[in-house]
A and B are shown apart, each in its own frame.
Chain A
Amino acid sequence: MQGKTKANPPQKQVVLPYGKSVEIAVKSIKSRFFRSLITTMSLILAISFYSYIKTTSHIISGIFASGDKVAARKLSLQGYEIPAGEKYKTTPKEKWILYLSLLVCVVGIVNTQLMAVADRFREIGTMKCLGALDRFILRLFLIEATLQGFIGSAIGAVAGCVIALSGALIKFGTAAVANIDLNNILLSISSAIFLGCLLSIIGVLYPALLAAKMRPVEAMRGRD
């Protein structure tokens, strides 16, 4: 028999519904709770710092806007300056530290996620032998990262906000919180959560691509 017969070529496609992907991702996070916690921890720290800086700037704006002279003097003593009639903005120094901390956070996430991928080499290969496509693996990692990112940054955002507010309350009393625009605070928290998810996804992108591109033969070789 000659030639390359395609008597009954496979027409159907393999599928992985989104609901199932989320289910598997949640299961994976749950059963690797400690590893997930470490990944999430660096995100919590970085995002709570971000949220702290944002909230503090709202508090300071509020204090200057209220015209409370005593509190404003206290602020000046601590090094906060505000041009008359303008809104307070985070200083370049603060921004510089903020960006640095976010960068360190992403590097940390890349590092732990690379370890996680190496850990799960066999699992990934096995899934591929069972018919998983590259994009299933990619999707699983991305969903996991998004979930971790959301949970981590939600905790971080709220924590940073609460720390900033309570710190201000202790230092300046009720004057600190009297003039805060609640909308601004909510906006900061949601931007912090969004940023956290984004960082988490950026951090997992390279490790996840690495995992998705792996050939199923690797699983057969029984790498540990």
Chain B
Amino acid sequence: MKNSNNIVRVSKVTKDFAMGKTLVHVLKGIDLEIKTGEYVSIMGPSGSGKTTLFNMVGGLDKPSSGCVFIDEIDISQLDAYELAWLRCRKIGYIFQTFNIIQVMTALENVTLPMIFAGVPDDEARQKGLELLDLVGLKTRFQHKPFELSGGQQQRVAVARALANDPAIILADEPTGNLDLTTGDEIIKLLKMLSREKNVTIISATHDLKMLNVSDRVIWISDGRIEKIENREELSISLGQVGERWG
């Protein structure tokens, strides 16, 4: 297996959407490689194709042409069962709106992906408690989502995303619905996890705080990659970034 340190590889990906009779080219040829354990942020104005690229990488959508490899598996070749397995075992999702399942407790939310993965009940429960402890919610495992604050719900979502030890965590504006301090805590939590568990974190964001912890920032504009900045370059140009995004 070549390039085994590339957990995600996007090759010449285009995506068209039919809007009525006109064909809209949302992605116009994207090439991208993301290494294992990297913390990558995808930035771009709305309508730039950021979310579409994000969905491709997450196996939620298939490209019109080109290939997306996750762990060197071409996801466009997978059938529905294999895709579900991929989502269950390889990818953890964190959403802007938390998406905690309302009818289940924090612990049940965390164990659900493990149930899908066929983990025995006791083992799933044990691991769920450990993960909730890791995100600092050990005492609240029996709470229902409406009894938790936004930040706590997002912590549950982080624990849930980690349930099956995924290779990738996809975070779609994870701080979008949180206040500054809570958002900061979630970002620190993600960074800590990426370091400790060697999980690749890919996030789509507008949050500048996110950039400070990112290893790389990918700027998308008009369906193409505008530039890719490493962190070292970032700290220099942050003033300019602030101007653009502040």
Other-chain residue from B55, B80, B99 in contact with A217 (beta carbon distance below 8 A): B55
A216 within 8 A of B: yes
| B86 lies within 8 A of chain A by Cβ | yes
- Stretch in contact with the other chain, from B88-96, B135-143, B183-191, B232-240: B88-96
Chain B interface extent, by class: 35 or more
Contacts of A123 in B (CB 8 A): 99, 101-103
CA distance A128 to B104 in the complex (A): 16
| Cross-chain contact A133 with B99 (CB below 8 angstroms) | no
Residues of B close to A17: CB separation below 8 A: 115
| B86-124 Cβ-contact flags toward A at 8 Å (1 or 0) | 111110010111010111100010001101111000000
Complex interface residues of chain A between 93 and 139 (CB less than 8 A to chain B): 122-123, 125-134, 136
Find out whether the CB atom of A10 lies under 8 angstroms from the CB atom of B89. Answer: yes
Contact of A222 with B95 in the complex, beta carbons under 8 Å: yes
> Which stretch of B23-31, B66-74, B209-217, B219-227 is in the interface?
B66-74
Asked whether A131 lies within 8 Å of B113 as measured between CB atoms, the reply is: yes
B244 at interface by CB-CB < 8 Å? no
Which residues from 48 to 103 on chain A have a C-beta closer than 8 Å to any C-beta of chain B?
none
The answer to whether A217 touches B115, judged by C-beta atoms less than 8 angstroms apart, is no
Give the CA-CA distance A4 to B61 in the complex, in Å: 18
**Closest CB in chain B relative to A76 CB, distance in Å:** 56
A15 at the interface (CB under 8 A from B): yes
State which size class the interface on A falls in.
35 or more
* A134 and B80 in contact, given A32-B103, A126-B99 (Cβ under 8 angstroms): yes
Contact A4 B74 (CB under 8 A): yes
- A127 vs B99: C-alpha distance in the bound complex, in angstroms? 9
Docked-complex contact B103 and A12, CB < 8 angstroms: no
Contacts of A128 in B (CB 8 A): 84, 87
Within 8 A of A (CB), among B134-157: 144
Given the known A-B contacts A9-B82, A12-B118, are A31 and B60 also in contact in the complex, defined by CB atoms under 8 Å? no
Point out the residues of chain A lying under 8 angstroms from B50, CB to CB: none
Would you call A1 an interface residue if the criterion is a C-beta within 8 Å of the partner chain's C-beta atoms?
yes
Measured CA separation A10–B85 after assembly (Å): 7
Partner of A31 from B84, B96, B103 at Cβ < 8 Å:
B103
Of A15, A27, A30, A220, chain B has the most CB atoms within 10 Å of the CB of A220
Partner of A131, one of B69, B78, B87, B104: B87
> Does B64 lie at the interface of the complex (its beta carbon under 8 Å from any beta carbon of A)?
no
A1-12 vs B: 1/0 string, CB under 8 Å? 100111111101
Are A16 and B77 CB-contacts (below 8 A) given A10-B85, A27-B103, A28-B103? no
- Report Cα–Cα, A67/B104, bound state, in Å: 61
* Any B CB within 8 A of the CB of A13: yes
Q: What residue of chain B has the Cβ atom nearest to residue A125's Cβ?
A: B99
B55, B77, B96, B117: the one within 8 Å of A6 (CB) = B77
B117 lies within 8 A of A131 (CB): yes
A130 pairs with B72, CB closer than 8 A: no
B19 at the interface (CB under 8 A from A): no
Interface centre among A31, A129, A136, A222 (most CB of B within 10 A): A129
Task: Flag if A15 contacts B116 (CB, 8 Å).
Answer: yes
The answer on a CB contact under 8 Å between B61 and A8 is: no
What A residues does B115 contact at CB under 8 A? 15-17, 20
A15 with B87: CB separation less than 8 A: no
- Assess whether B160 is interfacial by the CB under 8 Å rule: yes
Bound state CA distance, A7 and B1, in angstroms? 7
Q: Which residues of the other chain, A, contact B3 by a CB distance below 8 angstroms?
A: 1
Residues on A with beta carbons closer than 8 Å to the beta carbon of B58: 220
**Which residues does chain B contribute within 8 Å of A171, judged by CB atoms?**
none
CA distance A21 to B152 in the complex (A): 27
Contact call A220/B55, Cβ cutoff below 8 A = yes
Interchain CB contact under 8 A, A132 and B73: no
Contacts beyond the supplied A28-B103, A123-B103: 15 A-B pairs with Cβ under 8 Å: A4-B67, A4-B77, A5-B73, A5-B74, A8-B71, A9-B73, A9-B82, A13-B81, A14-B81, A123-B101, A128-B87, A131-B85, A131-B113, A136-B116, A220-B55
The residues of B with any CB-CB pair to A shorter than 8 Å are: 1-3, 51, 55, 58, 60-61, 67, 69, 71-74, 77-78, 80-82, 84-90, 93, 95-97, 99, 101-104, 108, 112-113, 115-118, 144, 160, 172
Which A residues are closer than 8 A to B by beta carbons?
1, 4-10, 12-17, 20, 24, 27-28, 30-32, 122-123, 125-134, 136, 215-217, 219-220, 222
